[in-house]
Structure 1
Amino acid sequence: RCESRVYYRVEDLADSDLDLCAEYVAQRIANVVHPQPQLFLKLPGGYTFFAERLSAIYTELYSKSGEIPLEQYLDEKMNNGHGAKYGGYTAVLITDVITTARSSLEAHTRATLKGIKVSCWATLIDRTFGPGPVPVVSAFTGAAVRLLTQIG
């Protein structure tokens, strides 16, 4: 869904909108990710609790193996035993908004180096309009940053 002038800011979304978006993204993950994810990695910086919503909804509606852990992705945490703990797991990286994809690419690379298999990125709004190393599952495709500065 492409909304170049609508819903490009997460603060414009009500809780009911966020829940609906999380349900949509959970359904897309169920259709895209095989095998089923064993781990959700939440990138820092979000404030909509999208990762928490998404992991709860996915677990409730689609998980075949019970609750799937949701871990905050922090370098300190991953270097302090958590990376090894989840080695071999299939994971989904979750963030509110992907703008340039830099932080997602960095987290993806670091997780891969720890033996975690990142199968997709899940986001509320994707502004990259470009391919990444894995599928990006998003509720909205927002305007690119250069367009947002012009709309302003």
Structure 2
Amino acid sequence: DLLILDDIALGNSNSRQRLANFIQQGGAAIVALGADFSLPSSTGDRQLLRSLLGFELGQASEMGDWSIDPLEYKSPVIAAFAGYPNAGLLTTPIFRYWQVAHLDTGAMVDMATTTGAPLIVRHPYGQGMVASILS
């Protein structure tokens, strides 16, 4: 089972705990953080978010113009683009992204900017998996 959360707040504390339980029991989630995403206000909810995502989320970057680094296409998430330089991945502009303040052990960066900022991070949580898209 897969939940896709696209540029929305992750609900109240109860909703976030239900999401954590779903993933811990073998579910998967793709969390796309965009302009409308906001960090939870309570410390407990921020800690739960960090344990789910596999990193401490910083602030949104300033507006800019970054390029994508596919990290040698090592990730199974990005591997389908290997050998297809005109597929659009490398020319997709990144104007803003959420910054990672600290990456936890076990979190995998699948794609980054050419300056090294993570753009896609996967993290196992219990028996499940969370993939975060940071732009």
Same-fold call, TM > 0.5?
no
Higher helix proportion? 1
TM-score (norm 2): 0.29
TM-score by length of 1: 0.27
